[in-house]
Amino acid sequence: MLGYGFRKLLYLPLGILLLSLVSFVLTWMTPGDPVQQRMVAEGVRTSGENLVAYERSYQRLAEQLDYDLPPFYLTITNAALPDTLHRIVQADRRGAVRELALQFGNWPRVQQFYRALMAARLAEEPEVQTVARRLLVRSDPAYLRQQLATLPPGPAAQSLQTAYRDMVDGADRRDLLLPRVYWHGTENRYHRYLMNLLRGELGVSYADRRPVAQKIATALPRTVLLNGLALVLVYLLAIPLGLYMAYYYHSRFDRWATALTFLAFGLPSFWIATLLANYLTTPAYGMGWFPTMGFGEVPPDAGWWDALQIRASHLILPVFCLTYPSLAYVSRHLRASALIELAQPYVRTARMKGLAGSQVLWRHVFRNAAFPLVTLLGGLLPGLLAGSVLIEQIFNLPGMGQLLYDAATARDWPVVTAVVLVNGVLTILGLLLADIGYALLDPRIRLGKLPPR
């Protein structure tokens, strides 16, 4: 068994590596300009009269966030695009230059036009400065011609117009048909992102500039407590309920339990949570039986019994809202699996040997009917975390769910992608636990043998 578990653990680094790649792609594809968002969070002026100071601040922060590096180890593109395009760190400018290179195909002429714009943005003539700053983020030929035609006569305007004409006249789209692969080595954003993950560094929050790992370390134990209690209750209640529903098939107990589980599975947990939070925690309705919100503040000098009472009073309602949908789901699956096993010949043989009904049910039927429980375990861990987003928000519980909600509404993408990464790791661990559970239930699996046909 230890050897089988060790072999399964070998797949864990590969899964985490693939998960880190997905998380990086999500970070890369998030809307907006991450550098500018970070500048806003740090109180740096994102616009103003001193353009040079702003660009220096932008460049400095982009280098800190590794946005001056290529995204990956290699870039697959066409011959019209250079391997140095990532050095234009401002995303809107880089996008405009990329579109110009794809339109005209002649990178040296496009580069010459871009350098003319960069020089003209600091020209003495205010009209030339304004037009150049506009054109740095635009690539539409009609708009470029229209803006260049409005420039007043002068050396800066003439240089800019000449660079544009050279780019248009020198258009050569043949390079667009030629593929090219650029190798960047380890000096890329994904490599540094992966190395930071291995060191436990998940970035810095845009909202409050706190390390993301520190915020997750504060919120994760609360969500683990909340979802751990819900998971334990789900299996403690669903296993006997599902087995006895199958054992007393078509009895009054089975009919009532089936109706209640169907009802529980159909009631949205966020709606039930809203009702409970409004009516059972509000003295205005005469039913202020539970504390209002949060995990509860435990005094430093409180004993363990007082601490337990405080925590339990705050967790009863959210744990209930997380438990009942999964309880209905798991018990229904176990009931269906146990009904199939109860019709097998070995059950009749066990009864003929004189075993009591409870012994047959728990010693034989449960072991063979438990495979769906193991399968469901792989999805319950991340499922509970996803479900706790709304539950934690409704009951104002400062856990991973509320952290994800607050980060998503504030567009705090480092926190969002880190929480997604943690959720993916929980999914991998859930699948690993499911594999080990299969091996515990059926020795043929861990011995690498297939069931006989």
Instruction: Give, in order, the Cα–Cα distances in Å from 440 to each of 236, 286, 371, 429.
Output: 19, 51, 10, 16
444 has a pLDDT exceeding 60: no
The pLDDT of residue 450 is: 47
254 has a pLDDT exceeding 70: yes
- 303: burial class by Cβ within 10 Å (0-12, 13-18, 19+)? exposed
Break the chain into its structural domains and give their ranges. 36-198, 212-446
Q: What is the mean pLDDT of the chain?
A: 83
d(CA 128, CA 383): 57
The pLDDT of residue 131 is: 92
The pLDDT of residue 161 is: 92
Query: For 125, which DSSP code?
Result: S
pLDDT in tens, 143-181: 999 999 999 888 889 999 999 999 999 999 888 989 999
Give the pLDDT mean for 35-42: 77
What CATH architecture is 212-446? Answer: Orthogonal Bundle (1.10)
190 has a pLDDT exceeding 70: yes
pLDDT in tens, 202-251: 888 877 888 898 998 888 888 888 888 888 898 899 999 999 999 898 89
The total number of residues shown for the chain amounts to 453
The pLDDT of residue 138 is: 93
Residue 159's closest CA among 125, 124, 108, 113?
Answer: 113
The pLDDT of residue 49 is: 56
Residues sharing a CB contact under 8 Å with residue 83, sequence separation 6 or more, in sequence order: 70, 75, 182, 184
The pLDDT of residue 379 is: 65
d(CA 352, CA 249): 20
pLDDT in tens, 397-406: 888 888 888 8
447 has a pLDDT exceeding 50: no
95 has a pLDDT exceeding 60: yes
